[in-house]
């Protein structure tokens, strides 16, 4: 099968499997991105995320991570639901980021990517490679950008004209050649709404994020006490944060998701039995958040953030 034909078939199959976008880029070293990443790490902007310092060569070069790789196939899946927006309009208590209110995207995307990998293997007559969903040192946003699926927004999130930034990313790195997509131009223009809205000034310059000030980092990645100077600015966020996405004009136009797995679960939107999130025991935490991204926070750190959010909210 010729390269154009297999590119068309694989992209079509990605849509059939429920992905909202699929793009192709040549597997090669990310020279420009490597320089930015190295500077960011040297400045200590990654906080306690020491894992970002490891496997640097694999992170910037997919042919080191997957020997023989020729292509990176990136896919996007939307998690925008009107149910989330209706809930946020009336909820004045602690909040969980929208992407974490349904099934864990790692599981959903991996399931779809395994099927896409198998299909590609059938069409190409055998391939070597791997699939990834935040599971290895892969710069997924950079590859999605190179695959023509959007541009890097000033808040550090990928933006797509049709999906805004309400999507998650996965990829296949394989030894099959495709017809490669061209990157799209930046459409943020002079807008600075995400910078202006961030209560902790984590977006210290357009396109640059200080993790140690980011609410998502503080409520998910930080396995320690949250610094006193940031507690008030955390607002009502218990797990993650959507502020910089909520104010983005592109997200107001974004299409709604058709991925049932990402539908927000009622028992995740509100604490059980009239309790506060900070009051739930570890067993209840595991039961309520089973199969969702929130399990990553662990009970100890979730209730830590919940206490702060409750103190900041109108329910305290």
Residues annotated catalytic, as ranges: 134
Listed residue (160, 249, 240, 239) closest to 196, CA to CA: 249
220, with CB counted inside 10 A (0-12, 13-18, 19+), is buried
List alpha helices for 178-235, DSSP H: 193-197, 215-216, 228-231
What span, in angstroms and rounded, lies between the C-alpha atoms of 263 and 302? 22
Listed residue (65, 64, 56, 62) closest to 25, CA to CA: 62
Please name the residues in contact with 140: beta carbons below 8 A apart, sequence gap of 6 or more: 74, 132, 134, 169, 170, 171
CB atoms within 10 A of CB 102: 24
Q: Are 7 and 1 in contact (CB under 8 A)?
A: no
Listed residue (292, 126, 311) closest to 234, CA to CA: 311
Please name the residues in contact with 85: beta carbons below 8 A apart, sequence gap of 6 or more: none
Q: Are 86 and 275 in contact (CB under 8 A)?
A: no
Angle at 226 between CA 224 and CA 230, to 5 degrees: 160
What span, in angstroms and rounded, lies between the C-alpha atoms of 93 and 73? 40
Angle at 276 between CA 270 and CA 277, to 5 degrees: 70
């Amino acid at each position: 099968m010729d390269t154009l034909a297999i590119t068309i078939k694989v992209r079509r199959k990605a849509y059939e499997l429920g992905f909202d976008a699929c793009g192709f880029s040549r597997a090669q070293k990310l020279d420009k991105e490597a320089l930015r990443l190295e500077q960011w790490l040297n400045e200590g902007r990654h906080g306690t995320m020491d894992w970002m310092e490891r496997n640097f060569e694999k992170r910037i070069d997919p042919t080191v991570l997957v020997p023989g790789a020729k292509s990176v196939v990136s896919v996007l899946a939307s998690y925008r639901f009107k149910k989330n927006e209706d809930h946020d309009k009336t909820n004045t208590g602690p909040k969980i980021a929208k992407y974490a209110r349904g099934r864990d995207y790692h599981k959903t995307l991996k399931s779809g990517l395994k099927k896409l990998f198998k299909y590609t293997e059938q069409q190409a007559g055998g391939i070597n490679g791997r699939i990834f969903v935040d599971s290895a040192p892969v710069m997924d946003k950079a590859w999605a950008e190179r695959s023509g699926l959007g541009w890097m927004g000033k808040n550090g999130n990928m933006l797509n004209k049709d999906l805004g930034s309400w999507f998650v990313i996965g990829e296949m790195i394989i030894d099959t050649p495709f017809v490669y997509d061209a990157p799209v131009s930046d459409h943020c223009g002079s807008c600075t709404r995400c910078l202006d809205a961030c209560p902790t000034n984590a977006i210290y310059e357009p396109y640059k994020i200080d993790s140690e000030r980011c609410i998502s980092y503080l409520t998910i990645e930080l396995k320690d006490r949250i610094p006193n100077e940031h507690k008030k600015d955390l607002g009502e966020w218990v797990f993650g944060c959507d502020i910089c996405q909520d104010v983005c004009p592109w997200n107001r136009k974004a299409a709604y998701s058709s991925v049932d797995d990402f539908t927000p679960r009622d028992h995740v939107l509100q604490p059980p039995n009239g309790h506060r999130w900070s009051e739930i025991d570890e067993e209840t935490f595991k039961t309520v958040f089973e199969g969702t991204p929130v399990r990553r926070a662990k009970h100890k750190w979730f209730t830590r953030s919940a206490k702060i959010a409750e103190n900041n909210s109108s329910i305290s």
